[in-house]
Structures are given as C-alpha cells and as structure tokens.
Copies of this chain bind each other. A is one copy, B any other.
Amino acid sequence: MAQPVVTTRILRRLLKTGAHFRAEKLLERIHPADLGPLLADLTPDEIRIVIDLLFKHRRAATMLIELPHDLLPEILDSVSDERLAEVLDRLELDDMLELVEAIPEERRSSVLKQLPVARREELRHAELYQPRSAGRAMTTNFSALDEKMTAQEAIDSLRAAGLEATDAILYLYVVDELQRLTGVVPIRRLVTAQPGTPVRELAIREMLSTGPDADQEEVAQLVARYDLLAIPVTDVDGTMLGVITVDDVIDVITEEATQDIYNLAGLSEEDRVFTSARVSIRKRLPWMLVNLVTAFAAGAIVGLFEGTLEQMVGLAIFLPVVAGIGGNGGIQTLTVITRAIALGEIEFSSGVRAVGKEMAVGLVIGSAAGLVSGGVAWFLHGNLWMGVVLFASMVVTMVTASLVGAAVPLALKALKQDPALGSGVLVTFAVDALGFFSFLGIATLLLDRMT
C-alpha cells in the first residue's frame, strides 16, 4: 500500500514542476479509494490538473465516487457538463444516483441532457424509489441465467463477458421465461460442477430477497444477519430488478451508525469534521435555538421557586447535581434503547418490557445516588431534611429519566419517525424540568424544617 502522506508530497512536487507524465504514472498506481483523501490535501488548481489526468485514464468516474462529500461541490464546479455526463455514464446505477444528487439542482438537467437516453430512463426510474430504499441502493448490473442452461453453458456465457466482468460476480441468478427469480447459484459452485449439470440443480432455492421499497437499513440487517454476500431485489411478481452487494451494505451500516450517533447529539449528517465552518454553523443554529427554548423553560421552573431560593440560597448548589445525574441517566437509557432499535433487537411488545427494566434500573441507581448526595447534603448543611429533599428528588428524577429515555424513542419508532432524532433534547428537557421541579418543590414543602 502506498503511504498517503508521502504520495501527496511527491504528487504535489510533480504537479508543481509540470512533470505531468510522471504524475500520471503515479496516479495510475493509486487505488481509487486512496484518491479521495489524497485530493483533500491539494489546492483547487492542483485538483483540476489531477482530474484532467484521470480523465485520460477513464478513471475519473471511480475517483469521484470515492471522494469525501464535502469536497465534491468544488470539484464538480471545475468539470464541464459533457465530461460530467461521460463520468455518470460509466457508473453503475446506485453510484450514478449518488453523484447526480451531488450536482447542484440548477445544473442537473443540463448535465443529464448529455446522457444516453437509455441511461436517462434508467435514472428516472430509480428516482421513483424513496431515498434510502433498496431500489436506490441496488445495482442493475447482474448476471441472469436461463433455467434451462447447463453449467457449461453458464460458464461459456461468463467467459464471453470477459475476466474483468467475472471478477465482480458472486452469484448468478436463475430466472424463468418471465424473468422471475427461481434460484441462486453461487459462482463458487460452478467451479466444481460437472459440465452437463443443469444450473437448476446447482441453484439454491430457499433464498432471501427484498422488494425495491424496503428500507436500506433493514436490507443491511438481513445481509449482516444471514452472512450474505449479496441480496436480490425483486418486484411483487418476483421479477429480478437488481442486486445489493455486501460492499454497499457495509457503506449503509457505517452511514446509519453515523446517523444514529449524530441524531442523539442533534447533528445533521452533512455536518462532518471538515465541512466548512459556514455550513456547520448553518446546520447547528436551528438546533441551538430549540435548545435555548427548552433551556429557558427549565430556567423558568427554577424561577417559579424564586421565593424558596431567596430564603435558602444554598439550594442552588444542588441544582447542577440533580440535573447532572438525571440527565446522565436519561441519556444512558436513551442510548441503550435507540441502539437496540437500530440493530433490530427490539419490537413493540418487548419494548414494554425494556421500559420496565430501565425504570427498575433508574430506581436503584437513583436511590444510590440519592443516598450518597443526600448524605453529602446532610453533612454540608448539618440538616437531615436537606438530605431527605435531595434523596427524594433524585429518586423521582431518575425514575422519570428512565421512563422518558426509554418511552420517547419507542414512541417515535411506533409513529414511524427516526427514534434518535430529537430524543436527546426532549429527554434532557424533561429531566431538567422535572428535576428542578421536584427538588425545589419538595424543598418548598419542607422549608420550615430545613431552616
């Protein structure tokens, strides 16, 4: 493997000294997946030269697909419509869709006009499927075998397609005269098959398939669960439409994990580490405003008890303790439940059981935290009732935090919303509000005994 840092330095020098032929030779030896990170370190002018060189080698298409998404706009700007269409034409359907989405909308139609009609049609058809559906993620580039073929005929048809094509094939799909999927032959089985064996006999009949409208995350879970290398996509009649391969499944799993982690923090997926500060700010501002509203609402609850605080300002010290422990408990429960939902480990019926368990955990942890912090408060203030107030509010807050942390994502899932999106802010607000209310409320009731 080439060392990326060294390669960047050499490439830069070659470009600077105008040694384009040697730069070309260097680029030739780099794997498409390594080009993205490499380009990320070049200036726009240098990138333009590299793209020109890659076009000579017809490698620009694979490179553009591997590029980090935040680099794409800048790079696409420097490529003409004709070239962009040329690149799109060379891509498989799922990659083509992804790149088309990266083209600014106002430019899209003029680029697509340059595409061959057949491919334009294919694209239009795929765009009918929902984003994040199997129909969008599948490739239409698969090998179908006639049921009546023999192993030797299947091998001959592969040989005709050439070695390069064979390299990408893992399964052959057996179809009947109506193009309906009837079986799958792992290409590995052809290796040891007798030439005269009908492919029908080599095929696996009991196989998984999915519809084009299935959620890509669910398809990824199927592939992961049954250790598949690819899964066929068929329509309601069983007609073969395409295939989703394991490398795309890995991308989906990584993408969805990022989305889950990001949603918990209220981040937009486009807000990555090297996204421009301008974009990150624009993405985070609305969320900050939502947070401001809930933070002020929590503050207003403190405000309700201004009279109590005036009489005993020392209570303010414990506000961060109640909010901190409750918030932590709520986020832990939320994390366990959203992760279980994402991994398909939980259904609605078992969800009720999960809520019960989390509340039991919250009760115990809340009691423990209440005992420790109540003890500290008793010691600090020399007043037992101070400790009682802290203990009671801690238990109430933790149990509620567990209830909210478990119920909110399950309810969102039942409403077919993303279970993680917005859960964090809701849970934090509920816990803060209830924590302050119970702590200051109980303190108000017991104020006479504490002073």
Interfacial residues, chain A to chain B (CB-CB below 8 A): 1, 31, 33, 68, 155, 158-159, 163, 166-167, 169-170, 186-192, 208, 223-227, 229, 246-247, 249-251, 253-254, 257-258, 260-262, 264-267, 271-274, 277, 280-281, 284-285, 287-289, 291-292, 294-296, 298-300, 302-303, 306, 309-310, 313-314, 316-321, 323-325, 328-329, 331-332, 334-337, 339-340, 343, 345-346, 350, 353-354, 357, 360-361, 364-365, 368-369, 372-373, 376, 425, 428, 432, 436
The interface residues of chain B lying within 8 Å CB-to-CB of A323 are 295, 320, 323
CB of A331 within 8 A of CB of B292, answer no
Give, as a whole number of angstroms, the nearest-CB distance from A39 to chain B: 14
Bound: A313/B315 CA distance, A: 11
CB of B320 within 8 A of CB of A436, answer yes
CB of A357 within 8 A of CB of B277, answer yes
The interface residues of chain B lying within 8 Å CB-to-CB of A249 are 250
CB of B192 within 8 A of CB of A226, answer no
Q: Across chains A and B, which 3 residue pairs bring their CB atoms closest together, nearest first? A: A295-B324, A257-B257, A273-B340
From B33, B189, B428, give the contact of A167 (CB < 8 A).
B189
The interface residues of chain B lying within 8 Å CB-to-CB of A302 are 316-317, 319-320
Give, as a whole number of angstroms, the nearest-CB distance from A70 to chain B: 10
Secondary structure call for the A interface? helix
Bound: A340/B436 CA distance, A: 36
The interface residues of chain B lying within 8 Å CB-to-CB of A261 are 257, 260-261, 264, 335, 339
Bound: A269/B337 CA distance, A: 13
Residue of B nearest to A351 (CB): B273
When A167-B188, A247-B227, A289-B372 are in contact, do A319 and B320 touch as well, CB less than 8 Å?
A: yes
CB of A345 within 8 A of CB of B163, answer no
The interface residues of chain B lying within 8 Å CB-to-CB of A325 are 288, 291-292, 295
Bound: A376/B343 CA distance, A: 43
The interface residues of chain B lying within 8 Å CB-to-CB of A337 are 273
When A272-B345, A376-B296 are in contact, do A320 and B432 touch as well, CB less than 8 Å?
A: yes
Give, as a whole number of angstroms, the nearest-CB distance from A99 to chain B: 17
27 contacts across the A-B interface (CB closer than 8 A)? A1-B208, A31-B226, A33-B225, A33-B226, A68-B345, A155-B192, A167-B189, A224-B254, A246-B250, A257-B260, A257-B261, A258-B339, A261-B339, A265-B328, A266-B328, A272-B340, A273-B354, A284-B329, A284-B332, A284-B365, A287-B328, A288-B328, A288-B365, A291-B324, A298-B324, A302-B320, A306-B316
Bound: A188/B292 CA distance, A: 58
CB of B332 within 8 A of CB of A317, answer no
